[in-house]
Amino acid sequence: MTPDTLAAGTFGLSRRWKKPPMIKRPLVRWALWLAAGIYLALAFGTMEVNWGRVADGIPRGARFISGFFPPDFVSSWGEILSGLNESIWMTVTSTVIGIAVSIPIGLGAAKNLAPKPVYLLCRGILALTRSFHEVIIAIFMVKLFGFGPFAGFLTLAIATIGFYGKLLAEDIEDMDPVQAEAVKATGSGWFQWLNYAIQPQVMPRMIGLGLYRLDINFRESAVVGIVGAGGIGATLNTAFDRYEFDTAAAVLLIIIGIVMIVEYTSGFVRQKVQ
Amino acid sequence: MLRLDSLSKQYKTGDLALTNISLEIPNGQVMALIGPSGAGKSTLIRCINRLVEPTSGAVYLNDLELSSLNQSNLRKARRRMGMIFQEYALVERLTVMENVLSGRLWYVGFWRSYFRKFPQSDIDEAFRLLERVGLDHMCDKRADELSGGQRQRVGICRALIQDPELLLVDEPTASLDPKTSRQIMRLICELCAERKLSAIINIHDVMLAQMFAQRIVGLQLGEIVYDGPPNGMTPAVLTQIYGEEDWEKTIENVDDDDVLDDEEILTNDA
């Protein structure tokens, strides 16, 4: 047979080709589509939209926003400043402590470093610290230790452990095992091995994530303040309670400004350490 | 002298990587270990320094039995065996000098190594070795800035600064071009001769093995099927190791291979 007749197939017909479907069995495939469709139809059907209220809400929103202007930085400047101070303090301390605590936990939660029991324990701790949103932890901490920035600090530190520990563990699991093997083969001790083989591989990403967490913690410090854990959030909440929308607008602008500054700096630093 | 005594390795998946390997490598001998992919070459050398734990059998480095050592004695024994890797296995974000000095980790305490305060004698030796392979001017470059051949030479320095008695070399040329491969193999063999080291070199390239090794061991499916001098590699032997193929040409080419002078190792940064 010549190549031509081979290509055309035995009967002179072209062979058909179609991309194989992700789910092989057609019955399962169609059943899944159907189930998803029914659920969505029911879910949207249950949602009640009161168009009258939506219509009322829009002009109210417009009034609300116009209340924001012009933002008033002056009349509550002292409160804003002390709230801001508290927030920054809370952000920095919780990030530093959170990362410090998360390093041993993250090492223990990396499958390729830790023995099984340690791995399970550390993964358990991480899962626990990650299972609740900051606001819920903050409410709990405020109940335990009273109002104020200490509760906020604890909340953010716990959240940082879950975040940083998990990503550290995952980064270690993704490292190049051969580099680690090579350092081990020199007869290095365990800590030397960490320092020479693991740390260089994960460091750039961890610096980037540390800055990212700093950024997140500042934003979260505003949120946890609303449930009583101090900081700029408390100032914001007070302003809303007193219907001082112009002061609230000032606080919001300051938060946006600081988040943007941290964002740009962390982007810059991350580029540098790569 | 290195002696393997009926060494076996079975992976958790059930794959039998090595069955009853017994070998003796006298001091100063450069032995090439050849065989198809999956024959167990890498497993064999990793079982010697226990990066892979053997399932049964014993390994003796001179009179020291390696497979029953505890962690701290194992570290001490690993120090006596330098290892060179296929993809160089340098820590990419460390400098050339740090990579070389990591070969001294067993000798120094944690804090000393943490602050990179190695004894001056170690630093002298590192420079001497880097000079020997023509890379002393690159000592502060990061390892990932180097070319393949340069990286492998740094890897050789890291292994040698351990002051080993034995080199375990895992596919040193697999990621290098033919010319650099020859340079690297020649360098390894010269250094072994200078320092009276014995070496086990895993290698795919039969021609290179024949050019440089004093002894060739052929591994197939975890068993030794050939153990003898390089010139005993007949088509029949190669067929036994690798399977049916036309081997005549591979063997003929050995004698008229290119000859590079040593200067090239020092001047060529390829």
A45-92 pLDDT per residue, tens: 888 888 888 888 888 888 878 877 788 777 778 888 888 888 888 999
**Chain A residues in contact with B155 (beta carbon < 8 A):** 182
Name the helix (H) or strand (E) containing A21: none
B75 touches chain A (CB under 8 A): yes
The 10s digit of each residue's pLDDT in B14-42 is: 888 888 899 999 998 999 999 888 888 99
| Cα nearest neighbour of B49 on chain A | A185
Helices (H), chain B: 41-48, 71-79, 96-101, 110-114, 120-132, 148-160, 178-195, 206-212, 235-242, 248-252, 263-267
**Chain B residues in contact with A192 (beta carbon < 8 A):** 105, 110, 113-114
Interface of A with B (CB under 8 A): 176, 178-179, 181-189, 191-193, 195-197, 200-201, 203-204
pLDDT over 70 for what percent of chain B?
92
Of B79, B85, B104, the CB nearest to A182: B85
Which of the four pLDDT bands, split at 50, 70 and 90, describes residue B262? very low
Strands B215-220 and B30-34: what pairing?
parallel
Structure tokens, A132: 């609740």
Q: Is the dihedral of CA A65, A69, A73, A76 positive or negative?
A: negative
Q: Please give the single-letter amino acid code of residue B268.
A: N
Average pLDDT of chain A to the nearest whole number: 87
pLDDT at B254 over 70: no
In this prediction, residue B81 carries a pLDDT of 93
| ipTM of the shown complex | 0.84
**Chain B residues in contact with A273 (beta carbon < 8 A):** none
**Chain A residues in contact with B83 (beta carbon < 8 A):** 182, 185-186
In this prediction, residue B256 carries a pLDDT of 42
Q: Which residue is it, tokens 């068993």?
A: B223
pLDDT at A183 over 60: yes
**Euclidean distance between CA atoms A184 and B105, whole angstroms:** 9
Of B51, B93, B168, the CB nearest to A200: B93
The 10s digit of each residue's pLDDT in A122-155 is: 999 999 988 888 888 888 888 888 888 888 899 9
**Chain B residues in contact with A203 (beta carbon < 8 A):** 93
pLDDT at B261 over 50: no
**Euclidean distance between CA atoms A192 and A189, whole angstroms:** 5
- For B191, the domain range is 2-267
B78 touches chain A (CB under 8 A): yes
The full length of chain A comes to 274
Which of the four pLDDT bands, split at 50, 70 and 90, describes residue A215? confident
CA distance B89 to chain A (A): 5
In this prediction, residue B253 carries a pLDDT of 52
Helix %, strand %, coil % for chain A, to 5?
A: 75, 0, 25
pLDDT at A9 over 80: no
B105 touches chain A (CB under 8 A): yes
Contact A196 B92 (CB under 8 A): no
Of B87, B91, B162, the CB nearest to A200: B91
Between these two residues, A105 and B264, which has the higher pLDDT value?
A105
Helices (H), B162-242: 178-195, 206-212, 235-242
**Euclidean distance between CA atoms B59 and B48, whole angstroms:** 6
CA distance B85 to chain A (A): 8
Strands B198-202 and B215-220: what pairing?
unpaired
Based on its alpha-carbon atoms, the radius of gyration of chain B, rounded to whole angstroms, reads 19
pLDDT at A241 over 60: yes
In this prediction, residue B260 carries a pLDDT of 43
Contact B51 A201 (CB under 8 A): no
The 10s digit of each residue's pLDDT in B181-217 is: 998 999 999 999 999 999 999 998 888 899 899 999 9
Contact B110 A186 (CB under 8 A): no
pLDDT at A37 over 90: yes
**Chain A residues in contact with B105 (beta carbon < 8 A):** 183, 186-189, 192-193, 196
Cβ neighbour number for residue B6 with a 10 Å cutoff:
12
Contact B75 A188 (CB under 8 A): yes
Task: Classify domain A66-273 at the CATH topology level.
Answer: MetI-like fold (1.10.3720)
| Interface test with chain B among A186, A192, A194, A203, by most B beta carbons within 10 Å | A186
Write the Ramachandran bin of B6: left for phi over 0, alpha for psi from -120 to 50, otherwise beta: left
Contact A197 B78 (CB under 8 A): no
Indicate the pTM of the whole model: 0.80
CA distance A30 to chain B (A): 37
Of B93, B114, B168, the CB nearest to A195: B114
Of A178, A189, A204, the CB nearest to B75: A189
Every domain of chain A and the residues it spans: 66-273
Domain count, chain B: 1
pLDDT at B264 over 50: no
In this prediction, residue B265 carries a pLDDT of 45
Strands B215-220 and B223-228: what pairing?
antiparallel
pLDDT at B259 over 80: no
Contact A188 B102 (CB under 8 A): yes
Give CA A187 to chain center in angstroms.
39
Residue A17 burial by Cβ neighbours in a 10 Å radius (0-12, 13-18, 19+): exposed
Which B residues in the span 50-69 are in contact with A, Cβ-Cβ below 8 Å?
Answer: 51
**Euclidean distance between CA atoms B173 and B88, whole angstroms:** 9
Residue from B121, B84, B139, B111 nearest A195 by CA:
B111
B83 touches chain A (CB under 8 A): yes
pLDDT at B220 over 50: yes
